[in-house]
Amino acid sequence: MTQEPLLKIRGIQIEGRSDETWTPIIKGVNLTLQRGQVMGLIGESGAGKSTLGLAAMGYTRDGVRISGGTVEFDGIDLLKASANVKRDLLGKRIAYVAQSAAASFNPAHRLIDQHIEGPVQHGLSGRKESAEDGVALYRKLRLPNPEEIGFRYPHQVSGGQLQRAMTAMAMSCRPDLIIFDEPTTALDVTTQIEVLSAIRDIVAQYNTAAIYITHDLAVVAQMADRIKVLLKGEEVETAETRTMLDAPTQQYTKSLWAVRSFERPTKPAVQTGAVPLVSVRNVDAAYGKEKVLHDVSFDMFAGRTMAVVGESGSGKSTTARCITGLLPPSAGQILFDGTALPADYRKRSKDQLRQVQMIYQMADTALNPRMSIGQIIARPVQFYLGLTGKAKRRRVDALLEQIELEPSEYFHRLPSELSGGQKQRIGIARALAAEPRFIICDEVTSALDQLVAEGILRLLARLQDELSLAYMFITHDLATVKAIADEVVVMKDGRVVEQGPKDEMFSPPHHAYTDLLLSSVPQMDPDWLSKLLAERGVDNIGDAAVNKM
Amino acid sequence: MMWFAAFLLGLAALAFAFRFAGQVATGRAPYFRDMTFGVAYGYLLAAAALIWLVWAYVQGRSPDPLVANKFFFLRVAIEGFIFFTIAAWLFRILGRNVGTKQTKRLFRSMPLTAAFGVMIILVYIFVAVFAGVLAPYGQAEIIRGVPANIMPGGNVAMGGNPDFPLGTDQIGRDILSRLIYGAQNTVGIAFATTVIAFLLGGTLGFLAATFGGWLDQVLSRMVDVLMAIPSLIFALLLMTIASVWAPRLGIPQTYFMILIIAVIDSTRVYRLARAVGQNIVVMDYIEAAKLRGEGLGYLMFKEILPNATAPLLAEFGLRFCFVFLTIASLSFLGVGIQPPLADWGTMVRDLGGFVNFAQFAPMTATPPLLAAGAIALLAVAVNFVVDWALHRSSGLKD
């Protein structure tokens, strides 16, 4: 290619400050991006994806510095450019779309006012013209009511719409380069499709170059022309998307690709007449006056996993709160081993409480940051089983071994000294310490990288086989369901839409909603999104499909 | 006024020249190239202030007492600043090399301000504990044959006495001894009061946050009512009542004062503890503990308290200073620590008249300022230490 590349990063080195010393985050990475090309950046968290993405704008977060290399954007050296030159480029020719649109919009201003800020500030157009252009962009991004949505405040629109509004805002100056930092990670699968297709169309239409940062391989396969894999601040490999997917050369890339292949063997069906361990019977529940659960019923059996799937707001977690007794149901019952549990957890006996344990989504908030790992796990051991002194310590050590962490190394550590996956393991150990028969796993893997998440799933599967535990596995990720579930319950708007054994659920015919959920899970095939959109009719994505039902 | 405006304008011109000179001298290094005019102006303003300070200090050392007296206190402040900086620096070096492994590590990461704070607090504690040994005379002792109002400084020609380096007060008591005993009385009582305020306010605040519902409502409204009354006036009112009760019940009035200030200040602690507690109560680990069946006590003191220490510690430092000042104010108004007990607030009141001499005879004005300075120094020291502790425990890094 004779054309001069738009962005040229050469041997960039970035360091972060921790405990008075500078430690390298990015160790000499090269990146070349042509006009109109989309580059996917993938890697685990901590691989330096976001740092590299920001460095492409000549920007670093606080406590981070660029210590070497060059960043050249259209012939301008961004690292040597003065603040004035950069001020003129950023927003106008380089734009940034953050992971959480909700946290990135100013909640005190209307969407359109924030949208026109860029073009007006850079003197590209007047308020009126840029507002009109904003409406046009909203229409292109298929936001509902493009004329009016701009007059809403950020909290008045949904997460997916906000993410699209942010993309529109990034496009407002028609930049040459947009950096997308995990724009769909926080969204449901059905919403994700809308955002993905909108981004893809608009980038193609204006011939904008983009850097697309994500840890989801299937997503990057849809979006990127080329993919760069990062590991611990170093490049593993770079290739065209198709080449990369079909024939990755590096071992690490192969291991990333293999994650999605984990699947447990199918268990024999439950014998008829067996007593379910936990049975949810016709449960209704309400927060104040608003009814959120309507006649929910399903049974869970020892040694088996029940996956509860649905979008956010479908009542999955509320069902869990009813089972634990945090939210007493307004009607219906929870049976444990055939006997009804008191509705309020305060009225349950110590032994009843012990039998039902919970593992949380965010390990950060689920572990007391001021307690050592040893204290966290020892508490239920002492509380429920009455062990003290050496016996307690032995039990904690055994539990730590069970979750594959070296007791002597981790016993005295604080949660902040562990990685996300390790924290989640501690959450599992705390639940196991009570020696329960039933564990609720609330989105336990959704905050984790795929490799780490797979480790957690394997651990949970092994523990289930060893201890004959029953799991209620709440998730919105159908790949996880495929991997671990025996039975599946699909929920929508507080109702059970469909339930049955996994194999049945994953093979047609489905309920229309299940079908939508299933087909929305990104596949590794780079043509998947195009095919899907063609199938659904290009304009007829997400919202429309739901409305049709 | 005109001169001042001309001075500022001249400074602005100089700032422009300074930035330009910097750009030329460094060959347009990014620092000078991207420097805004405001920053350059700030540099010049700071330089001007520094030059004035040096000039004032030289004036303060002038042999002519008429000139020197004008700048006496500024001179003392500058010398004090330099002295304390060096002392804090030496203290930190000492701390880094003496002591256990943990204290050594603690001192290694300590900023100079915190070292200063720790040093001052240690000195105060030492003085308070060993007041009886350190003080040359008793706190209430009227020394026979010694006139009242001896000048501080111990210079006989100026009306001083070497046996009383800080002079004597209006009824002939040694001021140095009273300052030393004041550490015991004022600091000790303030500390006890703050601790009680925290036990009371913290416990009730966490209780309200954990339990919620009607208990929270009742407690919070009660606290609102107490907070609605201006605290110093409220304290004065209650102290007046206490001064009638105390002799009847045979309980020293000081105990009443401790309790009254503790209750009034606990309302502020309650507010903070409740707000912090409410943020912690919604965490998943609290939910996990609740579902485990843990009792209220465990939740409050094992799960919530350790996570609330950082803001509470900061509040403790501030509150301690407030309590300390309240006691001094009450003593100043005559209802606080009762004579003949030495107390810094009372000393400021009793000797306050001498401050009028500051312009002409600075030495005469020193005694009330010494007591006031002792209060100020401790307040600054405590806040430095708390700032540092907060910085450490909240995990804030630069």
CATH value at residue A497: 3.40.50.300
A250 shares its domain with A328: no
Q: How far apart are CA A302 and CA A470, in angstroms?
A: 5
The dihedral region occupied by A12, where left means phi > 0, alpha psi between -120 and 50, and beta the remainder, is beta
Smallest Cα distance from A511 to chain B, Å: 34
- Show the domain range for A68: 1-35+43-84+227-255
Return the pLDDT at A259: 62
Q: How far apart are CA B298 and CA B213, in angstroms?
A: 19
Do residues B348 and B175 lie in contact, with contact meaning Cβ atoms separated by under 8 Å? no
pLDDT score of A545 more than 80 = no
Mind listing the pLDDT tens digit for each residue in A471-500? 999 987 777 888 888 889 988 888 888 888
| Pair of tokens at residue B393 | 């425990």
Return the pLDDT at B268: 93
- Compare A544 and A430 and report the one with higher pLDDT: A430
* Mean pLDDT, all residues of chain A: 84
Run of H or E residues at A171: helix A159-171
Task: Answer whether residue A291 is part of any domain.
Answer: yes
A324 shares its domain with A453: yes
Return the pLDDT at B325: 82
Task: Answer whether residue A376 is part of any domain.
Answer: no
Return the pLDDT at A49: 83
Smallest Cα distance from B59 to chain A, Å: 43
Residues on chain B touching A84 (C-beta within 8 angstroms) = 34
Q: Quote the number of domains for chain A.
A: 3
| Pair of tokens at residue A120 | 């007006």
Q: How far apart are CA A381 and CA A75, in angstroms?
A: 64
A71 shares its domain with A143: no
Return the pLDDT at A152: 87
Task: Answer whether residue A308 is part of any domain.
Answer: yes
Q: How far apart are CA A547 and CA B146, in angstroms?
A: 99
Smallest Cα distance from A180 to chain B, Å: 28
Residues on chain B touching A63 (C-beta within 8 angstroms) = 397-398
Do residues A510 and A516 lie in contact, with contact meaning Cβ atoms separated by under 8 Å? no
Task: Answer whether residue A440 is part of any domain.
Answer: yes
Return the pLDDT at A19: 66
| Pair of tokens at residue A431 | 């639940």
Of B34, B284, B290, the CB nearest to A360: B284
Return the pLDDT at B156: 74
| Pair of tokens at residue A506 | 């994953």
- How does DSSP assign A67-103, residue by residue? EEEEEEETTEETTTS-HHHHHHHBTTTEEEE-S-HHH
CB A366 to CB B288 under 8 A?
yes
B132 touches chain A (CB under 8 A): no
A101 shares its domain with A206: yes
Return the pLDDT at B394: 63
Of B283, B291, B397, the CB nearest to A358: B291
CB A369 to CB B290 under 8 A?
no
Please report, for chain B, the start and end positions of each structural domain, with discontinuous segments joined by +: 175-393
CA nearest neighbour of A298 among A309, A286, A282: A282
Task: Answer whether residue A389 is part of any domain.
Answer: no
CB B291 to CB A350 under 8 A?
no
Do residues B368 and B354 lie in contact, with contact meaning Cβ atoms separated by under 8 Å? yes
CB A370 to CB B285 under 8 A?
no
Under DSSP, the state recorded for B301 is I
A52 shares its domain with A188: no
| Pair of tokens at residue A227 | 């993919």
CA A495, distance to chain mean position in Å, is 24
Do residues B59 and B70 lie in contact, with contact meaning Cβ atoms separated by under 8 Å? yes
Do residues A167 and A97 lie in contact, with contact meaning Cβ atoms separated by under 8 Å? yes
Mind listing the pLDDT tens digit for each residue in A402-411? 888 888 888 8
Q: Tell me which residue has tokens 């300070």.
A: B53
pLDDT score of A1 more than 50 = no
Peptide bond between residue A509 and the one before it cis (omega within 30 degrees of 0): yes
Between strands A177-181 and A94-97, the pairing is parallel
Return the pLDDT at B225: 94
Q: Does domain B175-393 have CATH number 1.10.3720.10?
A: yes
CB B292 to CB A324 under 8 A?
no
Task: Answer whether residue A286 is part of any domain.
Answer: yes
A465 shares its domain with A344: yes
CB A366 to CB B285 under 8 A?
yes
Please give, one letter per residue, the 3-state secondary structure of A299-333. EECCCCEEEEECCCCCCHHHHHHHHHCCCCCCEEE
Q: Taken in order A98, A101, A103, A107, is the CA torsion positive or negative?
A: positive
Task: Answer whether residue A396 is part of any domain.
Answer: no
Return the pLDDT at B218: 95
Do residues A498 and A508 lie in contact, with contact meaning Cβ atoms separated by under 8 Å? no
Residues on chain B touching A369 (C-beta within 8 angstroms) = 307
CA B342, distance to chain mean position in Å, is 19
Lowest mean pLDDT among A183-192, A284-293, B56-65, B308-317: A183-192
Q: How far apart are CA A384 and CA A337, in angstroms?
A: 20
Chain A residues whose C-beta sits inside 8 Å of any chain B C-beta = 17-18, 63, 80, 82-84, 324-326, 345, 348, 350, 353, 356, 358, 360, 362, 365-371, 379-380, 383-384, 416, 430, 434
Q: What is the interface pTM, i.e. ipTM, of the complex? A: 0.74
In order along its 398 residues, chain B shows pLDDT tens digits of 788 899 888 988 998 888 888 888 887 777 787 788 888 899 999 999 999 999 999 988 888 877 888 888 888 889 999 999 999 999 999 988 888 888 888 888 888 999 999 999 999 999 988 988 888 888 777 777 777 777 777 777 777 777 787 878 777 788 888 889 988 888 888 889 999 999 999 999 999 998 888 999 999 999 999 999 998 899 999 998 988 888 888 888 888 999 999 999 999 999 999 999 998 988 889 989 988 888 888 988 889 998 888 888 888 888 888 888 888 888 888 888 877 788 888 888 888 788 888 777 777 788 888 888 988 899 899 889 888 887 776 654 43
A240 shares its domain with A117: no
Q: Tell me which residue has tokens 């800020």.
A: A117
Do residues A50 and A181 lie in contact, with contact meaning Cβ atoms separated by under 8 Å? yes
Return the pLDDT at A537: 62
CB A63 to CB B290 under 8 A?
no
Q: How far apart are CA A123 and CA B71, in angstroms?
A: 56
The arithmetic mean of pLDDT across residues A358-373, rounded, is 87
Q: Tell me the CA distances in angstroms from B379 to B42, B121, B341, B386, one per residue in order.
A: 29, 10, 22, 11
A147 shares its domain with A296: no
Q: How far apart are CA A141 and CA A519, in angstroms?
A: 21
A64 shares its domain with A95: no
Return the pLDDT at B82: 93
B17 touches chain A (CB under 8 A): no
A71 shares its domain with A23: yes
pLDDT score of A542 more than 60 = no
A173 shares its domain with A243: no
Return the pLDDT at B277: 92
A124 shares its domain with A213: yes
Do residues A345 and A353 lie in contact, with contact meaning Cβ atoms separated by under 8 Å? yes
Res. A544 pLDDT band, cuts 50 70 90: very low
Residues on chain A touching B30 (C-beta within 8 angstroms) = 80, 82
